[in-house]
Amino acid sequence: MGAAQFLPIERTIFSEEHEIFRASVRRFMRDAVIPNLDKWNKQCHPDREVWLEAGKQGLLCVTTPTEYGGAGADRKYSAVLIEEQQRANAAGPGFVMHSEIVAGYIERFGTEEQKQAWLPKMARGEVIGSLAMTEPRGGSDLRAISTRANPVGDEYVINGAKTFITNGYVTDLIVLAAKTEMGDGSSALSLFLVEADREGVSKSAPLDKVGQKAQDAAELFFDDVRIPKTSLLGKEGEGLRYLMQELAWERLMIAIRAVAGCEIALENTVDYTKSRNAFGQSLMDFQNTKFKLAECKTKTQIARVYIDQCIELAAEGKLNAEASAMAKWWCTELQNRVLDECVQLHGGYGYMLEYPVARAWTDARAQMIYGGTNEIMKEIISRSF
């Protein structure tokens, strides 16, 4: 179904149930997301109503167990959601961060009380989640985190700042990475659940990004924020280990989006070059056009086969850090190369935001940065030597 049929090798990883789900996601994107993208791009954040509607339609927290309000589905359903949001050319809302990352941390490392308190509300879209790791001076180095959560009696007192936080402007619940007083090494890092309306928590306006404007990102500030010790997520000092466990899936999701972006950009560009004339013939009739598109299509097909294998591994709980780093590095760089070619083949119109390829081009660049820069991905891969 959809972009995958543009490629010559049929995909085999999805069942009929997955494809039925795909059709429902595509309808949701058509009816509830695409008509609002211009508004969200201008205001730099999605409206909260779309979260509630997604919750009503069962599109949030699909892999969360049913006892906590989710669908208890496998990660292939998550891949469908990512692909269909990319097909809609919608950088936001941040459903993936909310459902797959924040809810995932709570499900795997939270207490029963934490799961019952937050996951059903997240599945209904009543609470929007964010993950606060990156700091103004830390970048991809999690060991350089300086935000502190100092234990004082039955509470932790948090001070620090985070930046580039997806869903940061609309967030209600923050999974916060902070250091306790145990030291400065990896054993000092812990995760905490912090309500965004707690005294001392403040947000910046949505950050003015080059692309992905429909997806809010913000700075978060913590000034003597007091939380009960029951807000600790998992065990104290285990935060870095928890983060590393989940990063493989996070990076694969970025790669899934990248390959879907290649497929959709190619579809759009083929349609455009067939309909646009120059020097008495269609753009598609020029050898340069055909050869450029042939190169992009071939590279995209090869990437698709690898990513589908990684999706299978993720669904089975077998995806490792090296494989996901390869996926994230290769596919995000491929997406940027493919989109650059597609913009060029659109000519001047490729630089106009009214054309989907232009917005996709500006949105894609950040994917080589977040989730760990692609330079970090190469470092991870090289550790296997």
Q: What is the residue whose two structure tokens read 């795997």?
A: 108
- Which residues participate in catalysis according to the annotation? 250
Question: How far is residue 76's CA from residue 314's CA, in Å, rounded to a whole number?
Answer: 8
Q: How far, in Å, CA of 31 to CA of 60, rounded?
A: 16
| Matching residue, tokens 């494989």 | 323
Instruction: With beta carbons less than 8 A apart as the criterion, state whether 350 and 344 touch.
Output: yes
**Structure token digits, residue 192:** 């905490």
Q: What is the DSSP string of 183-248?
A: -SSGGGEEEEEEETTSTTEEEPPPP--SS-TTS-EEEEEEEEEEEEGGGEESSTT-HHHHHHHHHH
**Do residues 217 and 203 touch, judged by C-beta distance below 8 A?**
no
Q: For residue 172, what are the CA distances in angstroms to 98, 197, 221, 293?
A: 11, 7, 14, 44
255 close to 328: Cβ distance less than 8 angstroms: yes
Do residues 69 and 61 lie in contact, with contact meaning Cβ atoms separated by under 8 Å?
yes
